[in-house]
Chain A
Amino acid sequence: MRTRRNLVFGLAALPILAACGGEAAPAAPAAKAEPSKAPAAPAAPAAAAAATKAPEPTAAAKALKVGLVTDVGKVDDKSFNESAWNGAKAGAAAIKGESKYVETRDPNDYKKNIQQFVSEKYDVIVTVGFLLGDATIEAAKANPTIKFIGVDQFQEKPVENLAGLIFEEDKAGFMVGVLSALVSKSGKVGAVLATDVVPPVWRFGEGFRAGVKFAKADADIQIVYHSDVGPEKTFDDPEWGKATALSMADKGVDVIFGAGGKTGNGVLYGVAERKDKGVLAIGVDTDQYLTVPEAKAVLLSSGMKIIDQGVSDLIKAVSDGKFKGGNVNGKVGLAPFHDLDSKVSAEIKTKLETIRKDLDAGTLKTNVKPAKG
């Protein structure tokens, strides 16, 4: 006969089991708890929530609170959400503030997720991604005391408490294009991009096109955008990115630029598989030599837009009282060549340096529109 348990026991069982798990190692809490936290813990159980983040700053009196809302995706996406979150963490740490994030699941939640930080009286709210632009502007107008940082959000009309951290991706793409054209042996270069409807990604692609043409007018350029099959999918399809990169490599393309979240990462993985054929990859956003170690052997460089530093600088500016609304240009450029430094001759390096200066000075223009028309 089976053992009979009653309802009450059934309900109580799980918490009891949980508690037993704790009692099994009674010494552990005392041993692990930091001296500064131990006395406070029993008195204020609410501090439990704090245990997940960095140790509480003791001088929390004037510490700024930094909140971050991701675009659809997670803060560990090895791409722009992660980069922005690293920036927010670093910025908050530098000013001895605290930082928290909320990940967006559903594009309808942008407003609500921003509101979460507003209602908790956060001092700085970072929203990541072009698509959060409208929601961020609305929130900024409604809450003039809170400083907003919109990553990838171009400000048409400046709002005093909202800084749009934007990047000239076309310039980064241009540099990547020049580098690709000069390094390519076959004269065929390619770019695989997540989408053409999100302007920053599109600017990377079109900048690339312009750069290749500038450096080598007769080069064969293949550019493939993963069509817009929904915001939750276009950036998250590494398998497609890989298949596309391999398909290009099979046709003799020997430098491939991959851009756009995980789809772009897939491109790097694909190229890594054609290592023996001498195909090279160029990453995007961050120095992907560090974020996609699997592709180290083929990663020539990355077309960087340095989001983390841009975000953390803006957070520091808030703390210093130097924060200003409007558009703030973040840094773009090429990542170091790392292991493949020998592939890039001194001549090419000099040329890239010249182009970089010309682009900065404005004497050289990429002629890329802000967005696809």
Chain B
Amino acid sequence: MPARSRPTSSRPRAENRSRRWAGPCIAGARILTLPARRPLWVCRAGFIGREGVLTVTQAVRARLIGGLIPSLAIVTALLIGGVIIWASGPRLDGPWFGIWFVVEAYQALIEGAFGSRASTIDTVLRTVPYVFTGLAVMVGFRGGMFNIGAEGQLAVGALASAWVGFTVTSLPLVIQLPLVLLTGCLAGAIWGGIAGLLKARTGAHEVITTIMLNYVGGQLAAYLLNGVLRDRSPLNVIAQTPKVAETARLPDLVPGLHSGVILVIGVAVLVWFVLWKTTTGFELRMVGINPDAAAYAGVNVVRRMTWAMGASGMLAGLAGAVQVAGVNYRSTLGFNVGYGFDSIAIALLGRNTVSGVVLSSILFAALRTGATKLQFRTQISTDIISVIQALVLLMIAADQIIRWIYRIGPAQTEADPVAASTAPVADSESGR
């Protein structure tokens, strides 16, 4: 949409509120409600975003809210999760009316995720695929494409890289390892690119096609893993490929932690660079914000859409390849399940910024890793983690809920909520 000025209606409300806000009040919230007294017109390109020209204060404010809302969403989700845990604990029989049970549970969750060297490594290992798939969904979002297909793309990426990993055995590591990873990328890119191409050529909605491709990918994996790609050694009885060659494995940084961690950092920086520092990235984001305007500006929208889905699929495929080369050393049936929806939650929670995706991935990985200890200590179902994740996602998607609970002013992009939830927002002008 063309640059437009901020809706004027929200400003007076914000000012009124700041006067009423007497009494106990945390510093952050106070800053947020400060009205812009002296507009400082800034010309930095980044500030001229969808909201038009922002003042410094407005930009700071937007940035703070941008960071605050996810944090508040997490806190609120954990509180609600706590009530659920409390309700399934000993309640009145326990000390502190059972609240201690909740404290115990969350303590176990944190300990389980970061309490020891081994558990921290576990969390990091789990973060890696989340970052890749989160970035995948984010790249899609930035290009205006909603990629629900990370799960399928990850599956085909893992299959393809495992295939190269165990069939090619005579190459040195410096050649084979990149080959394995690139094969995964390529397979994922093709799988995602199909959806992009269909969208561009026939208008078939990528949400539908990626859902369908998830299932096709899953079934294809099941077929191949039970058939031609299956490990035929007599000791193997399940649907998995043989182990990949030694030269196809990511070397360990420290024992138990593969060097994919370095790779993931590199890729995250690369994604940031491409999206925010290159013309391609600029065009992609433009298509994401407003395809019509982008077309008017001379961008080849069809190509960018396909590109966005291809890049998205490539990142998801890389996630699969890194799991093969770094963790499992093979592709096993069903290991991809759950990444599709988790990665959407991660991208949204990270507000479609690279740093946000990394932080959200750590959070999700920690929740999943800590869940084991949580169950060990409390013996309640680990599905509580899914409930908490769903609540986080709910409150991120509908940030009005958080704004209402904590009395934060209305979103600056209120007039365009679809974009507010899925597409770039004001606070992410630099995307880091």
Residues of A within 8 A of B (CB): 4-11, 14-15, 17-19, 21-23, 25, 28-29, 32-33, 41-42, 45-49, 51-53, 67, 74, 100-103, 105-109, 112-113, 115-117, 119-120, 130-131, 156, 197-199, 227-233, 371-372
Contacts and interface: CB of A to CB of B under 8 A. Distances in A.
B79 A41 contact: no
A197 B25 contact: no
A239 to B, nearest CB: 17
Given A23-B97, A230-B333, A7 B222 contact: no
Nearest to A37: B93
A46 B105 CA distance: 11
State the main secondary structure of chain B at its contact with A.
Answer: helix
B400 interface: no
Nearest to B408: A7
Given A102-B376, A120-B376, A28 B82 contact: no
Nearest to B115: A119
Nearest to A134: B235
- 6 closest A-B pairs by beta carbon, nearest first, are A22-B97, A51-B90, A230-B334, A48-B94, A45-B95, A14-B79
Interface in B101-128: 101-102, 104, 112, 116, 118, 122
Contacts of B226: 197, 227-228
Contact of A48 (B25, B79, B89, B337): B89
B4 interface: no
A230 B222 contact: yes
Interface of B: 20-21, 23-26, 29, 75, 79-80, 82-83, 86, 89-102, 104, 112, 116, 118, 122, 218-219, 222, 226, 235, 237-239, 327-328, 332-335, 337-338, 368-369, 371-373, 375-382, 405-407
A240 to B, nearest CB: 15
A156 B25 CA distance: 66
A100 B116 CA distance: 21
A370 to B, nearest CB: 9
Nearest to B80: A14
A106 to B, nearest CB: 7
A112 B238 contact: no
Given A8-B25, A372-B237, A107 B94 contact: no
Nearest to A109: B372
Given A18-B83, A23-B97, A119-B116, A103 B89 contact: no
Contacts of B116: 119
Given A11-B75, A112-B122, A197-B237, A228 B333 contact: yes
Given A14-B82, A231-B333, A100 B376 contact: yes
Contact of B335 (A48, A74, A107, A130): A107
B237 A47 contact: no
A117 B238 CA distance: 26
Contacts of A198: 237-238
Given A18-B99, A107-B332, A108-B335, A228 B90 contact: no
Given A46-B100, A52-B378, A228-B222, 11 more contacts: A6-B21, A6-B23, A15-B99, A22-B99, A25-B92, A28-B93, A33-B93, A51-B90, A120-B376, A131-B238, A230-B218
A22 B101 CA distance: 13
Given A10-B405, A103-B381, A116 B95 contact: no
Contacts of B405: 10
A22 B94 CA distance: 10
A22 B335 contact: no
Nearest to B225: A228
Nearest to A117: B376
8 contacts: A6-B23, A11-B75, A22-B96, A29-B97, A41-B95, A47-B95, A51-B93, A117-B376
A105 to B, nearest CB: 6
Nearest to A11: B75
A53 B118 CA distance: 27
A49 B222 CA distance: 41
Contacts of B93: 28-29, 32-33, 51
B162 to A, nearest CB: 15
Contact of B92 (A8, A28, A115): A28
Contacts of A29: 92-93, 97
Contacts of A45: 95-96, 100
B26 A8 contact: yes
Given A100-B376, A231-B333, A105 B382 contact: yes
Given A6-B407, A18-B97, A49 B377 contact: yes
